[in-house]
Amino acid sequence: MRTLAELAESALAAPGPSPVATSVFWLHHGTRLDGGGVTYLNQYVLVRSGRAFGACAFEAGEIDPSVCAELSGRPLADLVAEGPLPLRVAALDAFLAQAAPHHGDPRAEEIVLPHGTPEERAAARDAAIAGLLPEPEGRKVALIGVVNPLVAAIRRRGGECLPCDLSLGRTQWGDPVTSDMEEVLAVADAVVATGMTLGNGTFDRILARCRERALPLVVYAQSGSAVARAFLGRGVSALSAEPFPFSQFSAAPSALYRYRAEAPA
């Protein structure tokens, strides 16, 4: 299995009737952390099936709230097979998470984020992600999907951060951010990417380039956390998986799950 399409095809070929997408959600929220200079606007499509939620971020205007009425109650296989890519990723995420929840996966290291403010919980989450980074000292680390605390974490440990993002023009410190991931993938010694790359169609290319160049690939995923897990040891070397409900939606303690490939990816 080498691509997202192959993973979806494998899920659709599973024997037996398709689970039902009991609920489809359309979620839009903004976040501006204390002292931050950027307001982040995020949109998610969410699919609930049984005990699992699948999720994927999408760009503004890509999915309409009408999906909630149109798709709730449909077979999950229908949602995996057709429609906008983020919807298909969310449905596949629900399918895989229902079959194998993160909390029951023996490979997963559970990290409990503390009760706290948005800033405290975001700092704890980003510290957990940073703990998965390959030793960056003296290395160029491509960061595809810029999170400022990860920029700081890479630099603090002696690495050179190569930030790439489709929306942000500069980091918190004014560093230019490229929108061309090929530029950073060509020169990086390691890659860190967000799960949103699953929903915007760039994940397969990132995965292929990391395989070609034998680069460590760390994925931090609210979007498609169970989907990214399927590539662990198949191009993904480590994963921070945060299934819904995400840390920004509660002040209460919540879990994320860290994975490391048993063999070089």
Highest mean pLDDT among 30-44, 74-88, 128-142: 74-88
| Sheet bearing 217-221, strands edge to edge | 109-113, 254-260, 238-241, 217-221, 190-194, 140-144, 160-164
Which residues on adjacent β-strands are paired with residue 57? Answer: 44
pLDDT digits (tens, 9 = 90+) for 19-69: 999 999 999 988 776 766 677 788 999 999 999 999 999 998 899 999 999
What is the reported pLDDT for 14? 84
User: What whole-number distance in Å separates Cα of residue 92 and Cα of residue 2?
Assistant: 16
What is the reported pLDDT for 36? 64
96 close to 4: Cβ distance less than 8 angstroms: no
- Cα angle for residues 254, 94, 16 (degrees, 5° grid): 140
What is the reported pLDDT for 263? 47
What is the reported pLDDT for 134? 80
Token pair for residue 252?
Answer: 């209460």
User: What whole-number distance in Å separates Cα of residue 152 and Cα of residue 141?
Assistant: 12
pLDDT over threshold 90, residue 133: no
What is the reported pLDDT for 103? 96
Q: Report how far Cα 63 is from the mean position of its chain's Cα atoms.
A: 18
Lowest mean pLDDT among 153-167, 188-202, 205-219: 153-167
Percent of the residues in the chain that have a pLDDT greater than 70, as a whole number: 97
